């Protein structure tokens, strides 16, 4: 007997923020303060649509959560933001920070964060996601 497949939905929204940072211990130009217009893509997933609108989550709501998370970083020097006091404000660590922020904001919503991708410029990005142990 074959097992019936279960469907899931995955949504993504993208936003940008501007900030400066310095990469500690980099031993190159990026160790000096410089700035980026960072691109961010957040992906969420779930398996239940709302009964009334048949949406997993309204894109406007998801984008609002992402914008709220980005508010702590936008137009800041990231090395001075508390979450980067010990960690380097690399794209990898920015993605991990935003993943945690979104996961906390979406707790109990029936939607889970799949991953967050951060790009310092087109053509290069870092994605953070979590896997079960």
Count CB atoms within 10 A of the CB of residue 3: 5
**What's the CA gap between 98 and 66, in Å, rounded?**
8
| List 16, 34, 75, 130, catalytic entry | 75
Count CB atoms within 10 A of the CB of residue 23: 18
3 state DSSP class of 124 = strand
Annotation marks residue 83 as catalytic: no
H or E segment to which residue 41 belongs: strand 34-46
| List 15, 30, 83, 92, catalytic entry | 30
Among all residues, which ones are annotated catalytic? Answer: 30, 75, 120
């Amino acid at each position: 007997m074959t097992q019936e497949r279960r469907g899931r939905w995955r949504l993504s929204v993208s936003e940008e923020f501007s900030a400066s940072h310095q990469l500690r211990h980099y031993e190159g130009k990026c160790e000096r303060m410089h700035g980026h217009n960072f691109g961010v893509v957040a992906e969420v997933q779930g398996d239940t649509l709302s009964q009334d609108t048949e949406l997993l989550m309204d894109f406007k709501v998801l984008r609002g959560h992402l914008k709220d998370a980005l508010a702590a970083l936008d137009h800041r020097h990231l090395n001075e933001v508390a979450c980067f006091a010990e960690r380097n404000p690399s794209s990898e660590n920015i993605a991990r920070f935003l993943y945690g922020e979104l996961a906390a904001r979406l707790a109990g919503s029936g939607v889970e964060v799949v991953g967050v991708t951060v790009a310092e410029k087109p053509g290069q990005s870092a994605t953070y996601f979590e896997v079960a142990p």
